[in-house]
Chain A
Amino acid sequence: MQTPFEILGVPDNTTDEKIKKAYLQKIRQYPPEQNPEQFQIVRTAFEAIKTQPQRLKYQLFHSEVPSIDTLAEHILQAGTPHHLTKEIFTKTLLDSFHKS
């Protein structure tokens, strides 16, 4: 499971306003009628950290061990794509062809 901060894509030291903005963005991305499960996850995350005392509470008492699946999901998240060079592209294409 991701942390509420990760779900909303905000840093730990964020503000109420930024959290609200991130939440609204996310629910536009996952409207409840189209993606109810994801919407619920976003909603729960928002409810957990929407105010400063709630964030402080989360930081003080949160002790949920991240599951191995969480770790896997986190590590599989995309970064900023690199430039694909001709060399890598061609070599990989030919390698896959020879393996087929």
Chain B
Amino acid sequence: MSKKKKVPINSLVSPQKAAEFLAKGKYKEATDAYKKLLKTEQKQEWQDGLATAYLLRAKSLAEKGMFKEAVVLWENRANLCDDKELFEQYIHWLIVAGYHSRAINLLDNSSADLSKTALQQLMVQFGILFFEGNAEVINAISQDAPLVKHYAIIEQALIAYYQDDRQICEEYLNQIPFRSPYRDFCLLLKALLVIDYNQNSANDFLLKIPATSPYASFAKLILLSIEPYSIELLEKLASLNQLEQDFINCIKGWDKQQFKAIIAVKKAINNATDKNILEILINNQQAFGTEYAQHSCMAILPSYKDGIKLYERTFAVLSEFDKNRIMALHYEQQERLFVAKKYWHICVEILKQNRKPNSLKIALILRHQVEILKKHGEFLSKEYVPEFLVESLDFDPTDKECYLNLIDWYKQNHEEKDYYNWAEVAVKKLPKNSEILFVAMKAATARKSFKKALKYAITLLKVDPINVKARNIARASHIAHAHKLLKTGKYPLARKELEKAAQFEQATKQTGIIQINQGLLELQEQGFIKPIKGRLSAKLRTQALKSISSKQLKDIIQQHPQAIELLRTGLKLAGEGILGQFQLIVTCKKQNLDTTKIYPLVVESKSFSNKSVQYEVLELVNLINAYVEDGIDFLYDAVEQMKEQLQTIVKNKLAKDDLLSLCQCMKRLEHHKLLEKFATHGLKSWKQQPALIFYQIYGIVKGDVWCLSDNQLDKLHAAADEAEEQGDKRTAIMIATFVERMYGGDIFPDNPFENLPDEVVEEMEIIVANMEETQGKIDPKKMKEIINKLEKLGIEIPDEIPHK
């Protein structure tokens, strides 16, 4: 074996390399390098380098908690230099390394080398050693020193604290002077005294402890117990050692299981699946509390049904009801409503076995299905909504919301007979409920049962005296009754009815309707007008208007002064301009009276439209909408009679929002001509306004999507995009809803059972769910049944399908 060639000591290291090690923080390598260099030559520069390397390495080791090693390195450096750099740190390292007497000696002999602050800081550190009962330290320090004298008080305070005697503890702490080495400790103990009931004060005490204090770490640990929840807090807690965990357990009142659960939760924070959450709850049920764990697991099962077995093993076997309830919720979450319905049906059947105590539950399940159907399955709701609601009332007949839903459903679906019937049933069941009375009143008005409407309105006004709608309906009912009486010529009785109607008008908010009706009554009684049979054409109307000469007009006015006065008052109260005119037209139409005979008597022909001001447009729109709600069906004609005035107002420049409201109203009335005209006019001022583009095209094609040209369709798409861009979602949806009519508006575009009858879809969905639940083991009889049904419908079944 050949001998290794001897390498010169400094051959592997250069001064540059040593300096590089130092600069890069490789202190051990730097120390070795400078030592090697110094063996070749005792250069001051290299000695300084070695001293620096010792000092920095000492610091770095102390930061890692290796205080003994830090002490040695600091002392090595002290052999090379006279200065006492990091001297106070050195004493601190001595203290924490357990070299207490050396530290005390140094403090006694070298106090002159230390600043006052450093000295105080070191005293605080010695103070901590007193808690340990360190005899070496206690005996070495003069009995007159504050460190010893104050500790005696602190000891008493601590005894009181351990005995939970807060007041005594606080009294002792108050004896500690501000400049005591135990000042920070006092803050700690004060925080602990209030931490249970005043976390803000505890927080304030702890935050007063400076970050450089030897008590800072302890303060941070206590702060963890009052820190609000965050992921960082969870991470900090999960990283505590056993001693710290025990300490926190005491303060928070936790048991040992708590930290196990904290660590489990922390681990799952970035991977929180339903399965994980269920398992955490089950594995740590003691820490979470069994009741909470069980309740939470139960809530997880609908979205993680595979957890049912684990749940049953841990807590208790689920009842048949709960199993089916979980399955129903599971399929609801998947929006497989037919299957969900099947499970809810089983639930209801189970509950029906003990009907009386379960009545409310049954009703709630049935109503819950309605909510879900309304939310997700519009195409199913037609069949099941009324069925479920009606059935639920068998089990809980006093639920107001259910009646309201049911009545509203029939109303929206134009099933008038059921709408009226259920309004009657509801009001019989809940005769004093203002919401029920209100819908019953509306239903009675809709069926023109004015006596009933009046009865409900009066009852409602007893319950809710300021209900404006009840007042309006009571007034309208009296007026309607007056109209009936007028038809048979019972003028005095009709007059009385109108007087009764007037009682429901607020003195400050008179609408003019009463006066208009009273005026018309007078004219009918005096034989000036009579209800006409059939409709009066526009041509005849114009002729009638023109046919009255000014002399004739004057004579008529003189013959019927009271009636004319009433009509003029009515028109004035109604708003004079288009509002008054509209009220007059509607009132005449309600009684089948020829408006054209009345017009010249009360309206100054030339200036009519000029009297109308723009703000009236919005009020007119509201009025028309209210009449639409009341089911008045001649509004198109009424508007038609006012089209010239309306066009003039629009031409005189209307605010954009008012014009849009007017267009929307025209669309509602399906008055396509006016709609097109208004929108076209608006587009002159607000070019490319998406809603106006839509209204214009809608008017042109008369609301028929199939009449749209390619160009118009493109324009609508562009307008929808523009509306979306402008944040005008309403217009975007309005356009989309219209255009979608062309494509059929499929709710479930991916529905594989599209175009099949509902009952087949229902059955197939249930079979698919069965197959999933039984992992493909389907009852052959059931399979054959469904195949037969499909074949009957003309659906070709592939030969590969089993059981065919």
Chain A contact residues, CB within 8 Å of chain B: 3, 6, 12, 52-53, 56-57, 60-69, 71-76, 78-86, 88-100
Contact = CB atoms under 8 A, between A and B. Distances in A.
B333 interface: yes
Contacts of A68: 265, 268-269, 272, 276-277
A75 B214 contact: no
Those 8 A-B pairs whose CB atoms lie nearest each other, nearest first: A79-B253, A96-B217, A68-B272, A63-B302, A96-B218, A92-B247, A80-B253, A81-B253
B360 interface: yes
A100 B218 CA distance: 9
16 contacts: A12-B295, A60-B361, A60-B368, A66-B281, A68-B268, A72-B269, A74-B288, A76-B229, A76-B262, A83-B164, A84-B161, A89-B247, A93-B215, A96-B244, A97-B125, A97-B214
Given A62-B299, A84-B192, A93-B218, 18 more contacts: A3-B295, A6-B292, A12-B295, A63-B301, A67-B272, A68-B272, A72-B265, A76-B234, A76-B237, A78-B253, A82-B249, A88-B250, A90-B131, A92-B244, A94-B132, A96-B217, A99-B65, A100-B216
B252 interface: yes
Contacts of A88: 243, 246-247, 250
Which of A56, A63, A75, A85 is packed against the most chain B CB atoms within 10 Å?
A75
Contacts of B292: 6, 74
Given A63-B329, A76-B262, A98 B96 contact: yes
A75 B265 CA distance: 9
Interface of B: 65, 96, 125, 128, 131-132, 158, 161-162, 164, 192, 195-196, 214-218, 221, 225, 229, 231, 233-234, 237, 241, 243-244, 246-247, 249-255, 258, 261-262, 265-266, 268-269, 272, 274, 276-277, 280-281, 284, 287-288, 292, 295-296, 299-304, 325, 329, 333, 360-361, 364-365, 368, 396, 399
Which of A12, A91, A97 is packed against the most chain B CB atoms within 10 Å?
A97
Which of B132, B218, B261, B266 is packed against the most chain A CB atoms within 10 Å?
B218
Contacts of B253: 78-82
Contact of A71 (B280, B303, B329): B280
A75 B217 contact: no
Given A62-B299, A97-B96, A97-B214, A81 B196 contact: yes
A52 B399 CA distance: 13
B370 to A, nearest CB: 12
Contacts of A6: 292
A82 B288 CA distance: 18
B277 A85 contact: no
Nearest to A92: B247
A66 B277 contact: yes
Contact of A94 (B131, B281, B396): B131
B287 A96 contact: no
B273 to A, nearest CB: 10
B277 A57 contact: no
A93 to B, nearest CB: 5
B162 A79 contact: no
Nearest to A62: B299
A64 B237 CA distance: 28
A89 B262 CA distance: 22
Contacts of B288: 71, 74-75
B229 A92 contact: no
Which of B131, B274, B368 is packed against the most chain A CB atoms within 10 Å?
B131
Given A60-B325, A76-B233, A95-B244, A84 B299 contact: no
Contacts of B214: 97, 100
Contacts of A81: 195-196, 250-253
Contacts of A12: 295
A85 B158 CA distance: 10
A17 B740 CA distance: 52
Nearest to B196: A81
Contacts of B125: 97
Contact of A99 (B217, B284, B325): B217
Nearest to A54: B364
B528 to A, nearest CB: 60
B65 A75 contact: no
Interface of A is mostly: helix
A65 to B, nearest CB: 5
Given A61-B329, A69-B229, A79 B277 contact: no
Nearest to B251: A81
A86 B231 CA distance: 31
Given A56-B364, A76-B229, A96-B218, A83 B250 contact: yes
Contacts of B265: 68, 71-72, 75
A75 B287 contact: yes
Given A66-B296, A68-B272, A90-B132, A96 B221 contact: yes
Contacts of B216: 100
A35 B196 CA distance: 21
A76 B292 CA distance: 14
Nearest to B241: A95
Contacts of A86: 158, 162
Contacts of B221: 92, 96
A56 B65 CA distance: 59
Contacts of B295: 3, 12
B247 to A, nearest CB: 4
Contacts of B360: 52-53, 56
Given A53-B360, A65-B299, A75-B258, A93 B365 contact: no
Contact of A66 (B65, B247, B284, B299): B299
A3 B251 CA distance: 26
A99 B241 CA distance: 12
B456 to A, nearest CB: 27
Contacts of A53: 360, 364, 396, 399
B300 A65 contact: yes
Given A63-B299, A86-B162, A91-B243, A97 B128 contact: yes
Nearest to A100: B217
A61 B258 contact: no
Given A63-B333, A71-B281, A95 B364 contact: no
B131 A65 contact: no
A83 B323 CA distance: 45
Contacts of A52: 360
Contacts of A83: 162, 164, 250
B58 to A, nearest CB: 17
Contacts of B258: 75
A66 B217 contact: no
Contacts of A72: 229, 231, 234, 262, 265-266, 269
B140 to A, nearest CB: 18
A97 B364 contact: no
A73 B246 CA distance: 20
Contact of A65 (B132, B164, B274): B274
B65 A98 contact: yes
Contacts of A97: 96, 125, 128, 214-215, 217-218
B277 A71 contact: yes
Contacts of A99: 65, 217
A94 B246 contact: no
A76 B237 CA distance: 10
A85 B266 CA distance: 29
Contacts of A92: 218, 221, 243-244, 246-247
A65 B243 contact: no
Contacts of B128: 93-94, 97
